[in-house]
Structure 1
Amino acid sequence: MNLRSLTVLGAALLLAACTTPLQPGEKRYSAAELLALKPADLSWPATSTVGERALREAAVADIRARLVLPAGPEREAALPKLFDLVAQYNAEIAAARPLLLQALPTLGQRDAETQRALLTAAHTLYATDAAPLIWPLLPQLTTSKPFAIAAYTLLQADGAAADRLRVMLPQQFPSWADDARLTALMQRLRPSAAAQPPLAELLAAPLRPGFPVIVSLQRPGRQVMGLALVRDAGGRFVRDGAGQLFTSPQLALARSGLPGTITNGNTPQGLFTVVGAGTATNPNIGPTPYLHSKLPVEATPAEFEHVPAPGAAAWDEALYDSYLPPSWRAWPPIKEALLSGRAGRDELLVHGNTINPAYYAGTTYHPGAPQQGCLVSHEDWDAATGRLVASRQLTLAQTYAGAGARSDLAGYLIVVELPGEGAVTPAEAHALVMAAGR
C-alpha cells in the first residue's frame, strides 16, 4: 500500500476525534427509543478480532510509511497524522521520536495549526526530551494556543518551570487576561490557595429545576477512572431496586493529557448542557448512542437553559454563576467549561468506545481508552462477531433517559474533580450523595 492510499486510511482513522462535527442525517433518539435499545441490537465489525487486527495493521503500516519518508515537504506534511496514530495505537513511539525532535526547532516558521499538532505530540509522548528544544522556541510562538501547549509541556517535564513561565507569559502576551487559553494557563501558574468548596453543595445544587443531571466525579490529572452518577428530574440521585446508588465508571482523560481549554485536551471541569442523544459517524465512538453535551458558548444561553425564548444575548460569567451554588461561584477550576467554550472547544460528547483497550494495558486507567476530550465509557464487544455484549455507556444513557421528564433528553452534566488517589469509588460517591441529602 503506498502513502497516498495510506493517507486516505489515516484520514478515516482520525475521524475518531470527539471534535469531529456531527454529520447531517445522524440518527437521533427520543427517550423512549433510547430506553428500548438492547446491547444485542448494536454491532461494530471493527471490534471483532479480525476487524480490529486489520485496522491496527493498516494503521501501523501507515505509521511506518510516514517514518521512512525522506526529509522535505512531504514528510513535514505527514507528521501531524503520524503522531496522532502513534499516540492512538501506542506504536513506534521510539522510532518517531527523532522526527519530532528534528521538527521542533523549525516550528517558529510554521503555521499555528502545525505548531499545535507537533507541540501536542511533544506533550503527549516526549515531554522530557522536547523541553530543552521548547525553551528557545517559546518566544517565537506568537499565538496563544501553541504557546499554551508549549508551556504545559515544559510544566510536565519540570514543575519548576512555572516561575519562569509566570514572568514570560505577560511579557509575551500583555493582553493575556482577554484570552481564555492564557487565562487558564495563568491559573495553572498561579493556583488558588483557597480550599475547594464542599462537593455536597454542588451535588445538591438545583442548576435549573426539573431536569436530570449527570455528575462525573474525576480525579485531578485524570489518570484513573472516574465515576458517573445520575440525578433525576426531581433532584434525587438514582438508585437500583436494592437501594444501591447508581454509579458507572467513566474516563475524562484525553490522549494528549492537555487541559480542557486546549484542542483535544481533557474533558473540562464544570457545567455542560445535554441536548439529546445520537449515533455518531465517528469510528472510535461506534454505534452506541452518545449523549450530546455542549459547553457554554458552544450552546447559546437559550439552548443551554432549554428554553425557546432568546433569553440572555451572550454568555458572561454572571450567567454561568447563576447555575452554581454561591459557595462555588468564586472557585476558578469550576469555570474551566466556560473558558473552554470561549476557547472554541465543542462536540465533547458522553459516549462509548470501540478502541481496543489492550493498547493501553498497564496504564493506571485501563480498561479505559482515552480519546480526544470526551467522557468515555467502557464497552465489551464479541471478539468473533463484533456484536455489543455489554455497555456501560448504554446503561448510563438509559439511566439518564429514565431519570428525566422530557422525551428530548434535555438536561445537564457536571464534571468535577474529587481530591484523592486512585479510581473514584462507589463508597466515595455514596458518602457525597448522603452529605448532599439527595
Structure 2
Amino acid sequence: MNSRLLIALLALALAACSSLKPQPGPEKRYSATELLALRPGDFSWPAMSTAGERAQREAALADIRARIALPPGPERDAALPRLFDLVAQYNLEIDAARPLLLQALPTLAGRDADYQRALLTAARALYVADAEPALQPLLTQLTASKPFAIAAYTLKAANPGYAEFIRDLVPRQFPQWRDDPRLVALMDDVATVRLAQPPLADLFAAPLRPGYPVLYSLQRRGRADMGLVLVRGADGRFVRDAGGRLFAQPQLALSRSGLPGTITNGNTPQGVFTIVGAGTATNPNIGPTPYLHSKLPVEATPAEFEHGETPAAWSEAVYESFLPPSWRGFSDIKEAWLAGRAGRDELLVHGTTINPAYYAGTSYFPGTPQQGCMISNEDWDPATGRLLASRQLNLAQAYAAAGARADLAGYLVVVELAGQGPVTQAEARALVDAAAR
C-alpha cells in the first residue's frame, strides 16, 4: 500500500478512536462548593475501558509503524516529530525508531528551531547514550537557545564530564546569554559550585501571602521517583485526617522528556506558582477529573499572582517577595521564575487517563509522565471506563476544604529534596514538624 495512503487511513482510524472519549466543548470551571460535592462516580472516560484503551493503543502502534516505514525524504522527515511523541508516550517500537533519529541528528543544523527541538527532545527522552556521538559537533552549530539547551542537557546526561565543555561554549556562542532564561538555567546546571539548599523548615513555614492555602509538591532531583504532595490550609496548618495523620499522597512531576523546567515539555520547575481556580480539561490525556489551575510567574499577571490589585510589574524582586529571606538567593527555587520568562505555561495539577502499564518497570511506576504537569494517579473501571478512585480528586477537595475560598485562590510550591527513591511519608512528617517549631 502507498505510504501516503496508509498514513491517511491511520489518521481516519485515530479519528474513529475519538468516539472513545467525550468531544471537546466549553471548559467547565468549578467553585469550591461544586468541587467538594463531586464523587469519583460522577466521571467516566470510555477510552479507559479495556476495549477503549486497546483500540487507542493499536491505532497508535499502527501509526508508529506506518511512519517508520516511510521511505527517506521530506514526507518521512515531516513525520518524525509525531512519531517520537507516540513512541515516548506508549513506549512502543523504541528500537525500530532509533535509526531514524540517529540518521536525522547530523542534519539538524540546517533545520528550523522547532524541528530541532522536537528531535533533540526525542534524543533526551529515548536515546541519550546513542545520540552522544552526534551531539557534541552539533552543539557548536546550533544558533537558537532552546534547541542548544536541549542538546546540552542531553549531552551532559550522557556524560557529566561535558559540563566544562558546555560551560565554556555558552559565552562564546551566545555572548548575551545572561538575558536568556534557558541559558541562565543551563549555566547554573553546569556550574562548578552549587549553593547548599536553605532550611526546608523556612520554606514550609513561609506565609507566601497570609490567608491562602498552599500545595507543597516534594520531589527528588531528576524526578525519576515518585514525589509527595501536601496541603497547608489558609490557617497555616498542614491538613491531617481525623486520626491526626498528615495528608501526603503520591504525585509525579516528571515529564516524558526528562528535561529541566525551563524547556518546553520539560519537568515541572521548582519554585512558586499561583493557583487561580479549577476546571475540566479538554486534553484527552488529562481526562475529566477537575484540575487545579496553577500558573507560573509571567504566565500569570502580578495581580493574578497576588490575588488582588497591585501596581507592580514582574521582576525577580517581586518573585522573591513570595519566598522567605533565607531562600531568596537560592537559584534552584527560581526555576519557576525562569520558566515563566522562557514562555512555559499550562503546567496544571491534574489526574491521568494514560495507562500506567506503559511504564511498568520504571522507577516512577505507576506514575504516568506527560509534558511537565503535576500528576496524581486515578483508577478506572476496565469494563465501563467509569472513575473508581482518584488521588487527584482527593487532592483538589483537600485543597478546597483547607482554603475556605469560593474562588479556590492559593499557591503551589514545588521543591526538590535530597536523597533517592520515592519521597516518603516519614520525610514529609519530619519537615512539617520542623516547620511548626
Structure 1 residues 8 and 154: CA distance shift in structure 2, 3 A: farther
Structure 1 residues 396 and 192: CA distance shift in structure 2, 3 A: farther
Matched, 1:255 2:259: no
- Which structure 2 segments of 5+ residues have no match? 19-23
Matched residue type, 1:249:
P
Cα distance in 1 between the residues matched to 2:323 and 2:161: 34
Identity among equivalent pairs (%): 71
Cα distance in 1 between the residues matched to 2:198 and 2:324: 10
Per the alignment, residue 393 of structure 2 pairs with 394
* Mapping 1:403-418, distance limit 5 Å: 403-418=402-417
- Which structure 1 segments of 5+ residues have no match? 15-22
- What RMSD, in angstroms, separates the aligned Cα atoms of the two structures? 1.6
Look up the SS of the partner of 2:421 in the other structure: coil
Structure 1 residues 191 and 331: CA distance shift in structure 2, 3 A: farther
Matched, 1:316 2:315: yes
Structure 1 residues 7 and 185: CA distance shift in structure 2, 3 A: farther
Cα distance in 2 between the residues matched to 1:204 and 1:278: 29
Structure 1 residues 412 and 327: CA distance shift in structure 2, 3 A: same
* Mapping 1:253-402, distance limit 5 Å: 253-307=254-308, 309-312=309-312, 314-402=313-401
| Structure 1 residue 248: Cα displacement | 1.1
Cα distance in 1 between the residues matched to 2:14 and 2:334: 35
| Structure 1 residue 192: Cα displacement | 4.0
Structure 1 residues 27 and 431: CA distance shift in structure 2, 3 A: same
Cα distance in 1 between the residues matched to 2:331 and 2:91: 34
TM-score, with normalisation over the residues of structure 1?
Answer: 0.95
* Mapping 1:112-123, distance limit 5 Å: 112-123=113-124
Per the alignment, residue 241 of structure 1 pairs with 242
Per the alignment, residue 20 of structure 1 pairs with none
* Mapping 1:141-152, distance limit 5 Å: 141-152=142-153
C-alpha contact (below 8 Å) 1:212/1:403 kept by paired residues: yes
Cα distance in 2 between the residues matched to 1:8 and 1:318: 51
1:192-242 Cα distance to aligned partner (Å, 9 max, x none): 432110101100000000000000000111011100000000100000000
Cα distance in 2 between the residues matched to 1:410 and 1:9: 42
Structure 1 residues 117 and 13: CA distance shift in structure 2, 3 A: farther
Per the alignment, residue 3 of structure 1 pairs with 7
Per the alignment, residue 221 of structure 2 pairs with 220
| Structure 1 residue 191: Cα displacement | 5.2
Structure 1 residues 421 and 344: CA distance shift in structure 2, 3 A: same
Matched, 1:58 2:59: yes
Residue correspondences, number: 428
| Structure 1 residue 162: Cα displacement | 0.5
Cα distance in 2 between the residues matched to 1:42 and 1:7: 28
| Structure 1 residue 2: Cα displacement | 2.3
TM-score, with normalisation over the residues of structure 2?
Answer: 0.96
Cα distance in 1 between the residues matched to 2:236 and 2:17: 41
* Mapping 1:117-136, distance limit 5 Å: 117-136=118-137
| Structure 1 residue 31: Cα displacement | 0.3
C-alpha contact (below 8 Å) 1:13/1:283 kept by paired residues: no
| Structure 1 residue 163: Cα displacement | 0.9
Look up the SS of the partner of 1:160 in the other structure: helix
